[in-house]
C-alpha cells in the first residue's frame, strides 16, 4: 500500500515539477524543444512515433494533448500548429514538419483501425442473415474441400472444431470478426491453416480448431485495444503508402494463430483444461516481443 502511494506521489511530482524543469533546462542548453529533439534522436518507425506520442500526451498545452486523444483532425494543420506553439524555425529545421507528419498520421491511423475493428466485432452472428450464412459455409469449403457438408445443422462442424452442431453459437464476444478471421487464415494461408487443423486432431493434446481461432481473435483484439500493437503497425505501415486496414489486422491474427499452434505443441500440456493458462502465457510472450523497437509480426507467405 505504502509503496503504491509513494509511486503515485513520485509520478505526480515528476510530471508536474521535475519533468517541466528538466525540459526547460534541456531546452536552454540544446536550443531545441522536446519534440524537436525526439524527431532527430530516433529513426522513422515505432520508436520515434511512440516517443512523440508520449511527449504530446504529457504536454500541458491542451491543443497538443488533443493530437493523441482525437483522430479526426487535419494533420497538415496540426503540424503547423505544433510549429507555431513550439516556435520552431522552419528554415533551420527543414525535416521537422515532414517527420512529425509521419508520426501524427500513424497515431491517428491506429485509432481509426481500432474503431473499424470494434465495429465489426460488435456485429453478432445472425443465422437469419444470408451473408453470415454464406461466410460460414465458405469456411467449411476452405477447410474441408473434399468432404461436402451434409446439412447446415450437422455434427460435421465438430470436425473443424466447433462445439456443437450449429456454429452460430460459438462466436461469443468476438462476433462476426471471429468468423472473418477464420476465413482469412484459411484462404490466405491455406496450407498452414490445414496443417493447424490436422494437428488440432491429435489424440492426446488436440484442440478445437475453430474455438481456438475465436480465442486468438480475442487475443488480437486485446492487443489492439491495449495499444500493444502500435510498434508493429508503426514499423510495418509507412504513411506514404496508406494506413493500416482491417486486412492488416487479419495478418496479425494469422501470425498469432500459427505461432500459438506451435507454442501449444511445444508446451505439451497434459490436458485441454490447461488451455487458458497456455494462452495467457503465449499472450505474455507476444507482449514482451512487441516491446522490441523493430518488431514486426509477419507470417511467411505460403509457397
For 65, 89, 151, 205, the CA distances from 282, given in Å and listed in that order, are: 34, 48, 36, 17
**CA separation for the pair 257, 196 (Å, rounded):** 9
CB-count burial class (<10 Å; 0-12, 13-18, 19+) for 198: exposed
**CA separation for the pair 14, 230 (Å, rounded):** 25
The whole-number pLDDT of residue 32 equals 61
The whole-number pLDDT of residue 163 equals 92
**CA separation for the pair 271, 188 (Å, rounded):** 31
Per-residue buried b or exposed e for 25-53, using 16+ beta carbons within 10 Å of the residue's own CB = eeeeeeebbbbbbbbeebebbbbbbbbbb
The whole-number pLDDT of residue 13 equals 47
**CA separation for the pair 221, 210 (Å, rounded):** 17
The whole-number pLDDT of residue 33 equals 82
Phi, psi values for residue 197, rounded to 5°: -65, -45
For 9, 173, 175, 176, the CA distances from 119, given in Å and listed in that order, are: 39, 12, 10, 10
Domain ranges across the chain: 32-110, 130-289
Cα-Cα-Cα-Cα dihedral sign, residues 216, 245, 68, 83: positive
CB of 180 closer than 8 Å to CB of 132: no
Q: What is the pLDDT along the chain (303 residues), one digit of tens a residue?
A: 555 555 554 455 444 544 444 444 444 444 468 899 999 999 889 999 999 999 999 888 999 999 998 878 899 999 999 999 988 888 788 899 999 999 999 999 999 999 999 999 999 999 999 999 999 999 999 999 999 999 999 999 999 999 999 999 999 899 999 999 999 999 999 999 999 999 998 888 889 999 999 999 999 999 999 999 999 999 987 765 568 999 999 999 999 999 999 999 999 888 889 999 999 999 999 999 999 989 999 987 654
The whole-number pLDDT of residue 253 equals 98
**CA separation for the pair 274, 290 (Å, rounded):** 24
Whole-structure pTM value: 0.86
Task: Kindly state the cell numbers that stand for 136.
Answer: 460460414
Amino acid at each position: 500500500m505504502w509503496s503504491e502511494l509513494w509511486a503515485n506521489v513520485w509520478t505526480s511530482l515528476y510530471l508536474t515539477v521535475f519533468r517541466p524543469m528538466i525540459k526547460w533546462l534541456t531546452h536552454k542548453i540544446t536550443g531545441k524543444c522536446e519534440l524537436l529533439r525526439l524527431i532527430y534522436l530516433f529513426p522513422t518507425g515505432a520508436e520515434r512515433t511512440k516517443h512523440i506520442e508520449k511527449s504530446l500526451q504529457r504536454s500541458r498545452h491542451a491543443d497538443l494533448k488533443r493530437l493523441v486523444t482525437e483522430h479526426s483532425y487535419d494533420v497538415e494543420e496540426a503540424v503547423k500548429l505544433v510549429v507555431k506553439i513550439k516556435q520552431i524555425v522552419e528554415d533551420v529545421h527543414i525535416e521537422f514538419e515532414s517527420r512529425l507528419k509521419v508520426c501524427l498520421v500513424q497515431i491517428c491511423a491506429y485509432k481509426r483501425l481500432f474503431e473499424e475493428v470494434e465495429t465489426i466485432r460488435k456485429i453478432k452472428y445472425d443465422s437469419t442473415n444470408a451473408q453470415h450464412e454464406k461466410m460460414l459455409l465458405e469456411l467449411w469449403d476452405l477447410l474441408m474441400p473434399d468432404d461436402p457438408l451434409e446439412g447446415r445443422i450437422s455434427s460435421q462442424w465438430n470436425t473443424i472444431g466447433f462445439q456443437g452442431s450449429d456454429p452460430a453459437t460459438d462466436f461469443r464476444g468476438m462476433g462476426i470478426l471471429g468468423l472473418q478471421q477464420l476465413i482469412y487464415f484459411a484462404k490466405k494461408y491455406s496450407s498452414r491453416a490445414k496443417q493447424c487443423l490436422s494437428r488440432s486432431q491429435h489424440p492426446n493434446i488436440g484442440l478445437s480448431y475453430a474455438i481456438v481461432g475465436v480465442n486468438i481473435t480475442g487475443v488480437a483484439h486485446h492487443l489492439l485495444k491495449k495499444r500493444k500493437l502500435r510498434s508493429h503497425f508503426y514499423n510495418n505501415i509507412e504513411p506514404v503508402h496508406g494506413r493500416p486496414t482491417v486486412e492488416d489486422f487479419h495478418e496479425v491474427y494469422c501470425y498469432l494463430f500459427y505461432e500459438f499452434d506451435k507454442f501449444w505443441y511445444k508446451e505439451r500440456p497434459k490436458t485441454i483444461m490447461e488451455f487458458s493458462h497456455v494462452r495467457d502465457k503465449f499472450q505474455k510472450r507476444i507482449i514482451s516481443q512487441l516491446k522490441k523497437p523493430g518488431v514486426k509480426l509477419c507470417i511467411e507467405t505460403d509457397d
